[in-house]
Protein backbone atom coordinates (compact mmCIF):
# COMPACT_ATOMS: atom_id res chain seq x y z
CA UNK A 1 0.00 0.00 0.00
CA UNK A 2 1.41 3.39 -0.92
CA UNK A 3 1.34 6.18 1.59
CA UNK A 4 -1.24 7.98 -0.52
CA UNK A 5 -3.52 4.94 -0.54
CA UNK A 6 -2.99 4.53 3.17
CA UNK A 7 -3.90 8.12 3.96
CA UNK A 8 -6.89 7.75 1.68
CA UNK A 9 -7.95 4.67 3.59
CA UNK A 10 -7.60 6.34 6.96
CA UNK A 11 -9.61 9.39 5.91
CA UNK A 12 -12.36 7.14 4.65
CA UNK A 13 -12.45 5.44 8.01
CA UNK A 14 -12.57 8.69 9.88
CA UNK A 15 -15.75 9.42 7.96
CA UNK A 16 -17.47 6.23 9.15
CA UNK A 17 -20.30 7.00 11.58
CA UNK A 18 -20.31 6.24 15.29
CA UNK A 19 -22.47 3.16 15.86
CA UNK A 20 -24.98 5.00 18.04
CA UNK A 21 -25.59 7.66 15.37
CA UNK A 22 -25.87 5.30 12.43
CA UNK A 23 -28.58 2.88 11.41
CA UNK A 24 -26.60 -0.29 11.97
CA UNK A 25 -27.46 -3.31 9.88
CA UNK A 26 -25.71 -6.50 10.98
CA UNK A 27 -25.60 -9.30 8.42
CA UNK A 28 -24.19 -12.79 8.74
CA UNK A 29 -21.91 -14.26 6.09
CA UNK A 30 -24.50 -16.86 5.12
CA UNK A 31 -27.06 -14.29 4.05
CA UNK A 32 -24.69 -11.75 2.54
CA UNK A 33 -23.10 -14.46 0.40
CA UNK A 34 -23.97 -17.91 -0.89
CA UNK A 35 -22.19 -20.52 1.18
CA UNK A 36 -24.30 -23.65 0.61
CA UNK A 37 -21.37 -25.76 -0.59
CA UNK A 38 -19.32 -24.84 2.44
CA UNK A 39 -22.28 -25.44 4.77
CA UNK A 40 -22.51 -28.98 3.41
CA UNK A 41 -18.83 -29.58 4.09
CA UNK A 42 -19.35 -28.39 7.66
CA UNK A 43 -22.43 -30.54 8.20
CA UNK A 44 -21.00 -33.67 6.63
CA UNK A 45 -17.33 -33.50 7.55
CA UNK A 46 -17.08 -31.33 10.66
CA UNK A 47 -15.34 -28.12 11.55
CA UNK A 48 -11.69 -28.97 10.92
CA UNK A 49 -12.43 -30.10 7.34
CA UNK A 50 -14.72 -27.11 6.82
CA UNK A 51 -12.00 -24.64 7.80
CA UNK A 52 -9.44 -26.44 5.66
CA UNK A 53 -11.81 -26.22 2.70
CA UNK A 54 -12.38 -22.50 3.25
CA UNK A 55 -8.67 -21.75 3.40
CA UNK A 56 -8.04 -23.83 0.27
CA UNK A 57 -10.63 -21.79 -1.61
CA UNK A 58 -9.60 -18.50 -0.09
CA UNK A 59 -9.11 -16.73 -3.39
CA UNK A 60 -12.48 -17.75 -4.77
CA UNK A 61 -15.05 -15.10 -3.91
CA UNK A 62 -18.49 -16.21 -2.76
CA UNK A 63 -21.51 -15.43 -4.91
CA UNK A 64 -24.07 -12.87 -3.68
CA UNK A 65 -26.59 -14.15 -1.13
CA UNK A 66 -30.19 -13.10 -0.33
CA UNK A 67 -29.15 -10.00 1.67
CA UNK A 68 -26.79 -8.77 -1.05
CA UNK A 69 -29.26 -6.62 -3.05
CA UNK A 70 -30.51 -5.08 0.20
CA UNK A 71 -26.96 -4.16 1.25
CA UNK A 72 -26.21 -2.67 -2.19
CA UNK A 73 -29.40 -0.61 -1.96
CA UNK A 74 -28.35 0.68 1.48
CA UNK A 75 -25.09 1.88 -0.04
CA UNK A 76 -27.01 3.72 -2.75
CA UNK A 77 -29.06 5.51 -0.11
CA UNK A 78 -25.87 6.39 1.76
CA UNK A 79 -24.38 7.97 -1.35
CA UNK A 80 -27.46 10.14 -1.77
CA UNK A 81 -27.45 11.07 1.95
CA UNK A 82 -23.79 12.04 1.81
CA UNK A 83 -24.45 14.32 -1.15
CA UNK A 84 -27.19 16.17 0.73
CA UNK A 85 -25.77 16.03 4.27
CA UNK A 86 -21.98 15.68 4.02
CA UNK A 87 -21.38 16.14 7.74
CA UNK A 88 -24.12 13.93 9.07
CA UNK A 89 -23.53 10.56 10.73
CA UNK A 90 -27.12 9.48 10.14
CA UNK A 91 -26.21 6.85 7.59
CA UNK A 92 -26.57 3.12 7.19
CA UNK A 93 -23.63 1.25 8.65
CA UNK A 94 -23.27 -2.35 7.54
CA UNK A 95 -21.44 -4.69 9.88
CA UNK A 96 -20.65 -8.32 9.11
CA UNK A 97 -21.45 -10.29 12.26
CA UNK A 98 -20.73 -13.96 11.78
CA UNK A 99 -19.94 -16.83 14.07
CA UNK A 100 -17.54 -18.10 11.49
CA UNK A 101 -13.95 -18.60 12.58
CA UNK A 102 -11.36 -16.03 11.61
CA UNK A 103 -9.81 -18.69 9.35
CA UNK A 104 -12.58 -17.78 6.93
CA UNK A 105 -11.76 -14.10 7.38
CA UNK A 106 -9.42 -13.74 4.45
CA UNK A 107 -11.90 -15.36 2.08
CA UNK A 108 -14.69 -13.10 3.37
CA UNK A 109 -12.53 -9.98 2.99
CA UNK A 110 -11.46 -11.06 -0.50
CA UNK A 111 -15.15 -11.48 -1.38
CA UNK A 112 -16.08 -8.05 -0.02
CA UNK A 113 -13.26 -6.58 -2.13
CA UNK A 114 -14.36 -8.51 -5.21
CA UNK A 115 -17.94 -7.24 -5.00
CA UNK A 116 -16.81 -3.74 -4.08
CA UNK A 117 -18.94 -3.60 -0.96
CA UNK A 118 -18.43 -0.81 1.53
CA UNK A 119 -18.10 -2.98 4.64
CA UNK A 120 -15.22 -2.10 6.94
CA UNK A 121 -16.59 -3.38 10.21
CA UNK A 122 -16.96 -6.98 11.22
CA UNK A 123 -17.01 -9.47 14.07
CA UNK A 124 -15.99 -13.06 13.39
CA UNK A 125 -16.78 -14.67 16.68
CA UNK A 126 -15.24 -18.09 16.11
CA UNK A 127 -18.34 -19.94 17.33
CA UNK A 128 -19.35 -17.71 20.25
CA UNK A 129 -22.80 -16.14 20.30
CA UNK A 130 -23.02 -12.97 18.24
CA UNK A 131 -25.73 -11.44 20.46
CA UNK A 132 -23.40 -9.47 22.74
CA UNK A 133 -21.74 -7.96 19.69
CA UNK A 134 -25.09 -6.97 18.20
CA UNK A 135 -25.74 -4.90 21.29
CA UNK A 136 -22.24 -3.44 21.26
CA UNK A 137 -22.83 -2.21 17.72
CA UNK A 138 -26.24 -0.65 18.58
CA UNK A 139 -27.71 -2.90 15.92
CA UNK A 140 -30.98 -1.72 14.38
CA UNK A 141 -31.53 -4.83 12.26
CA UNK A 142 -29.89 -8.28 12.24
CA UNK A 143 -30.16 -10.62 9.27
CA UNK A 144 -29.02 -14.21 9.55
CA UNK A 145 -29.63 -17.70 8.15
CA UNK A 146 -29.86 -19.12 11.67
CA UNK A 147 -33.37 -19.00 13.16
CA UNK A 148 -32.10 -19.64 16.67
CA UNK A 149 -29.76 -16.66 16.63
CA UNK A 150 -32.53 -14.52 15.17
CA UNK A 151 -34.88 -15.55 17.97
CA UNK A 152 -32.21 -14.76 20.54
CA UNK A 153 -31.82 -11.31 19.03
CA UNK A 154 -35.58 -10.71 19.05
CA UNK A 155 -35.69 -11.73 22.69
CA UNK A 156 -33.10 -9.01 23.37
CA UNK A 157 -35.26 -6.42 21.65
CA UNK A 158 -33.22 -6.30 18.44
CA UNK A 159 -35.16 -6.37 15.15
CA UNK A 160 -34.09 -9.53 13.37
CA UNK A 161 -35.11 -11.89 10.60
CA UNK A 162 -34.00 -15.07 8.85
CA UNK A 163 -33.35 -14.89 5.11
CA UNK A 164 -33.67 -17.52 2.40
CA UNK A 165 -32.11 -17.75 -1.02
CA UNK A 166 -34.66 -17.69 -3.85
CA UNK A 167 -34.07 -20.12 -6.73
CA UNK A 168 -34.69 -17.42 -9.28
CA UNK A 169 -34.55 -13.79 -8.28
CA UNK A 170 -36.72 -11.00 -9.65
CA UNK A 171 -34.81 -7.87 -10.52
CA UNK A 172 -34.84 -5.13 -7.95
CA UNK A 173 -34.26 -1.41 -8.28
CA UNK A 174 -30.70 -0.10 -8.20
CA UNK A 175 -31.74 3.43 -7.33
CA UNK A 176 -34.44 3.00 -4.72
CA UNK A 177 -34.40 0.94 -1.52
CA UNK A 178 -37.76 -0.82 -1.14
CA UNK A 179 -38.70 -2.36 2.20
CA UNK A 180 -42.00 -4.19 2.67
CA UNK A 181 -43.52 -5.21 5.98
CA UNK A 182 -46.33 -7.50 7.05
CA UNK A 183 -48.49 -5.86 9.73
CA UNK A 184 -49.43 -8.22 12.55
CA UNK A 185 -46.56 -9.70 14.55
CA UNK A 186 -44.06 -7.66 12.52
CA UNK A 187 -44.87 -3.96 12.82
CA UNK A 188 -47.60 -4.59 15.34
CA UNK A 189 -47.75 -7.07 18.19
CA UNK A 190 -49.37 -10.46 17.67
CA UNK A 191 -52.38 -9.67 19.85
CA UNK A 192 -54.89 -9.78 16.99
CA UNK A 193 -53.18 -12.80 15.50
CA UNK A 194 -53.79 -14.57 18.80
CA UNK A 195 -57.50 -13.84 18.70
CA UNK A 196 -57.69 -15.13 15.14
CA UNK A 197 -55.82 -18.34 15.93
CA UNK A 198 -57.74 -19.04 19.13
CA UNK A 199 -61.25 -17.99 18.16
CA UNK A 200 -61.39 -17.76 14.38
CA UNK A 201 -62.12 -15.10 11.82
CA UNK A 202 -65.44 -13.76 13.08
CA UNK A 203 -64.12 -13.19 16.57
CA UNK A 204 -61.12 -11.46 15.01
CA UNK A 205 -63.32 -9.03 13.07
CA UNK A 206 -65.44 -8.38 16.15
CA UNK A 207 -62.37 -7.70 18.27
CA UNK A 208 -60.85 -5.33 15.73
CA UNK A 209 -64.12 -3.41 15.35
CA UNK A 210 -64.54 -3.05 19.09
CA UNK A 211 -60.96 -1.91 19.48
CA UNK A 212 -60.72 0.25 16.39
CA UNK A 213 -59.72 3.27 18.39
CA UNK A 214 -57.33 1.47 20.68
CA UNK A 215 -53.81 1.43 19.30
CA UNK A 216 -52.15 -1.87 18.54
CA UNK A 217 -49.06 -2.60 20.54
CA UNK A 218 -45.75 -2.44 18.71
CA UNK A 219 -44.00 -5.37 17.08
CA UNK A 220 -40.30 -6.23 16.61
CA UNK A 221 -39.83 -4.30 13.34
CA UNK A 222 -41.53 -1.07 14.36
CA UNK A 223 -38.23 0.49 15.39
CA UNK A 224 -36.66 -0.29 12.03
CA UNK A 225 -39.56 1.33 10.17
CA UNK A 226 -39.09 4.34 12.41
CA UNK A 227 -35.43 4.81 11.49
CA UNK A 228 -36.30 4.42 7.81
CA UNK A 229 -38.93 7.13 8.25
CA UNK A 230 -36.38 9.41 9.88
CA UNK A 231 -34.06 9.05 6.90
CA UNK A 232 -36.91 9.59 4.47
CA UNK A 233 -37.74 12.90 6.14
CA UNK A 234 -34.16 14.03 5.52
CA UNK A 235 -34.74 13.59 1.79
CA UNK A 236 -38.13 15.34 1.94
CA UNK A 237 -36.52 18.28 3.75
CA UNK A 238 -34.30 18.85 0.73
CA UNK A 239 -37.13 18.62 -1.80
CA UNK A 240 -36.73 14.96 -2.71
CA UNK A 241 -40.15 13.60 -1.85
CA UNK A 242 -40.91 12.47 -5.39
CA UNK A 243 -37.57 10.79 -5.98
CA UNK A 244 -36.86 9.61 -2.45
CA UNK A 245 -34.47 6.64 -2.61
CA UNK A 246 -36.32 4.89 0.24
CA UNK A 247 -39.83 3.52 -0.19
CA UNK A 248 -41.81 1.56 2.41
CA UNK A 249 -44.77 -0.78 1.93
CA UNK A 250 -47.31 -2.39 4.22
CA UNK A 251 -48.45 -5.74 2.80
CA UNK A 252 -51.11 -7.13 5.09
CA UNK A 253 -53.82 -9.76 4.98
CA UNK A 254 -56.12 -7.32 6.78
CA UNK A 255 -58.82 -5.74 4.64
CA UNK A 256 -59.05 -2.04 3.91
CA UNK A 257 -62.69 -1.65 4.81
CA UNK A 258 -62.60 -3.24 8.22
CA UNK A 259 -59.64 -4.55 10.15
CA UNK A 260 -57.20 -2.40 8.21
CA UNK A 261 -58.51 0.77 9.81
CA UNK A 262 -57.05 -0.07 13.17
CA UNK A 263 -53.66 -0.68 11.56
CA UNK A 264 -53.70 2.68 9.79
CA UNK A 265 -54.81 4.54 12.90
CA UNK A 266 -52.00 2.95 14.86
CA UNK A 267 -49.39 3.91 12.30
CA UNK A 268 -50.70 7.45 12.20
CA UNK A 269 -50.60 7.72 15.97
CA UNK A 270 -47.00 6.52 15.91
CA UNK A 271 -46.15 9.27 13.44
CA UNK A 272 -45.15 6.71 10.85
CA UNK A 273 -46.04 7.08 7.21
CA UNK A 274 -45.88 4.20 4.82
CA UNK A 275 -45.58 5.06 1.16
CA UNK A 276 -48.01 2.32 0.18
CA UNK A 277 -50.43 0.26 2.27
CA UNK A 278 -51.71 -2.84 0.51
CA UNK A 279 -54.66 -4.58 2.14
CA UNK A 280 -55.00 -8.00 0.57
CA UNK A 281 -58.05 -9.20 2.52
CA UNK A 282 -56.55 -12.67 2.65
CA UNK A 283 -55.43 -12.90 -0.97
CA UNK A 284 -51.99 -14.41 -1.59
CA UNK A 285 -49.12 -12.00 -1.17
CA UNK A 286 -46.85 -13.36 -3.92
CA UNK A 287 -48.26 -11.43 -6.91
CA UNK A 288 -48.24 -8.17 -4.96
CA UNK A 289 -44.60 -8.70 -3.95
CA UNK A 290 -43.72 -9.50 -7.54
CA UNK A 291 -45.11 -6.08 -8.44
CA UNK A 292 -43.37 -4.23 -5.62
CA UNK A 293 -40.00 -6.00 -5.96
CA UNK A 294 -38.80 -5.22 -2.45
CA UNK A 295 -35.17 -5.56 -1.47
CA UNK A 296 -36.57 -7.23 1.61
CA UNK A 297 -40.04 -8.27 2.80
CA UNK A 298 -40.62 -9.09 6.48
CA UNK A 299 -43.33 -11.58 7.49
CA UNK A 300 -43.90 -13.61 10.66
CA UNK A 301 -45.45 -16.56 8.84
CA UNK A 302 -43.17 -19.06 7.10
CA UNK A 303 -46.00 -19.88 4.71
CA UNK A 304 -45.92 -16.36 3.29
CA UNK A 305 -42.13 -16.19 3.28
CA UNK A 306 -41.90 -19.47 1.36
CA UNK A 307 -44.54 -18.32 -1.09
CA UNK A 308 -42.66 -15.10 -1.69
CA UNK A 309 -39.33 -16.87 -2.15
CA UNK A 310 -40.96 -19.24 -4.64
CA UNK A 311 -41.96 -16.24 -6.75
CA UNK A 312 -38.41 -14.92 -6.60
CA UNK A 313 -39.10 -12.15 -4.09
CA UNK A 314 -36.58 -11.54 -1.31
CA UNK A 315 -38.36 -12.42 1.91
CA UNK A 316 -37.27 -12.62 5.51
CA UNK A 317 -38.94 -14.54 8.33
CA UNK A 318 -39.51 -12.81 11.66
CA UNK A 319 -39.93 -15.72 14.12
CA UNK A 320 -42.11 -13.76 16.53
CA UNK A 321 -45.44 -14.36 18.13
CA UNK A 322 -48.18 -16.92 18.05
CA UNK A 323 -47.70 -17.94 14.41
CA UNK A 324 -44.54 -19.81 15.41
CA UNK A 325 -46.53 -22.15 17.61
CA UNK A 326 -49.33 -22.72 15.13
CA UNK A 327 -47.99 -22.98 11.58
CA UNK A 328 -50.44 -21.75 9.01
CA UNK A 329 -52.96 -24.11 7.39
CA UNK A 330 -53.88 -23.17 3.82
CA UNK A 331 -57.63 -23.65 4.28
CA UNK A 332 -57.97 -21.11 7.07
CA UNK A 333 -56.43 -18.21 5.20
CA UNK A 334 -59.71 -16.47 4.45
CA UNK A 335 -60.02 -12.70 4.31
CA UNK A 336 -58.92 -10.87 7.41
Partner 1 sequence: MEDKKNCTGPLMIALQYNDLFDLDSISTSTDTDALPKGRAFTFMKAVQTVNERLVEQNKSDCLLFEVILISKECSEEIKTKIVESVKHYGLEIGKFFFCKKEELINTLQSNKVKLFLSTERDDVYEALHTGIPAALLYDQADDHVFNQLTVIFSGDVIGFSEDSLDGLSEFGFSETQIETIKTAKICMKEFAVLIGQMRRRFGQENSPLCTCVLTSWGSRNVCASALKTLREWGLDVDEAFCLAGAPCSPILAVVKPHILWDGGLLNMS
| Residue 211 sits in the site that holds partner 1 (CB under 8 A) | no
User: Of 153 and 305, which CB lies nearer to partner 1 in the complex structure?
Assistant: 153
Q: Considering only residues 127, 239, 271, 327, which one is a binding residue for partner 1 as defined by CB under 8 A?
A: 127
Phi, psi values for residue 252, rounded to 5°: -125, 150
For residue 113, the minimal CB distance to partner 1 (Å) is 7
For residue 215, the minimal CB distance to partner 1 (Å) is 34
For residue 104, the minimal CB distance to partner 1 (Å) is 9
3-state SS string over 160-189?
A: EEEECCCCCCCCCCCCCEEEEECHHHHHEC
| Residue 168 sits in the site that holds partner 1 (CB under 8 A) | no
Helices of type H across 93-217:
105-114, 131-136, 147-155, 191-199, 201-210
The C-alpha torsion from 25 through 29 and 33 to 35, rounded to 10°, is -160
Q: What sign has the CA pseudo-torsion 64, 66, 67, 73?
A: positive
User: Of 135 and 203, which CB lies nearer to partner 1 in the complex structure?
Assistant: 135
Q: Give Cβ neighbours of residue 17 (< 8 Å, ≥ 6 apart).
A: 89, 90, 91, 93
- Cβ burial 166-182 (10 Å sphere, 16+ → b, else e): beebeebeeebbbbbbb
Q: What radius of gyration do the chain's Cα atoms show?
A: 21
Considering only residues 31 to 90 of the shown chain, the ones binding partner 1 according to CB under 8 A are 47-48, 51
For residue 93, the minimal CB distance to partner 1 (Å) is 9
For residue 120, the minimal CB distance to partner 1 (Å) is 4
| Residue 120 sits in the site that holds partner 1 (CB under 8 A) | yes
Instruction: Give all strands (DSSP E) within the chain, no chain letters.
Output: 23-27, 33-34, 63-64, 92-98, 121-124, 139-144, 160-163, 177-181, 246-252, 276-279, 296-299, 315-317
Instruction: Considering the candidates 93, 182, 190, 300, report the single residue annotated as catalytic.
Output: 182
Partnered with residue 178 across adjacent β-strands are: 247
Interface size with partner 1, residues (CB under 8 A): 40
User: Of 107 and 207, which CB lies nearer to partner 1 in the complex structure?
Assistant: 107
User: Of 123 and 250, which CB lies nearer to partner 1 in the complex structure?
Assistant: 123
Partnered with residue 27 across adjacent β-strands are: 96, 143
182 has catalytic annotation = yes
User: Of 24 and 162, which CB lies nearer to partner 1 in the complex structure?
Assistant: 24
For residue 8, the minimal CB distance to partner 1 (Å) is 10
Considering only residues 80 to 119 of the shown chain, the ones binding partner 1 according to CB under 8 A are 101-103, 105-106, 109-110, 112-113, 119
User: Of 96 and 323, which CB lies nearer to partner 1 in the complex structure?
Assistant: 96
Active site (catalytic) residues: 182
Site residues, partner 1 (CB under 8 A): 1-3, 6-7, 9-10, 12-14, 16, 18-19, 47-48, 51, 101-103, 105-106, 109-110, 112-113, 119-128, 132-133, 135-137
Amino acid sequence: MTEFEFLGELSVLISLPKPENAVTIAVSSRVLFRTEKEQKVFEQKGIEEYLRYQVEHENEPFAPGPAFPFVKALETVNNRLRELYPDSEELFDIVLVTYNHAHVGIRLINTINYHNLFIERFCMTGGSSPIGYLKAWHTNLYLSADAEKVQEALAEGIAAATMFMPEKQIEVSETQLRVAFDGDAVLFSDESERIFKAHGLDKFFEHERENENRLLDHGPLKGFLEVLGKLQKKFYAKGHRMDCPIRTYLVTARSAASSGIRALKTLRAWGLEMDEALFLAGAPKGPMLEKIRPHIYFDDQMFHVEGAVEMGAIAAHVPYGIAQKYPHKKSTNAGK
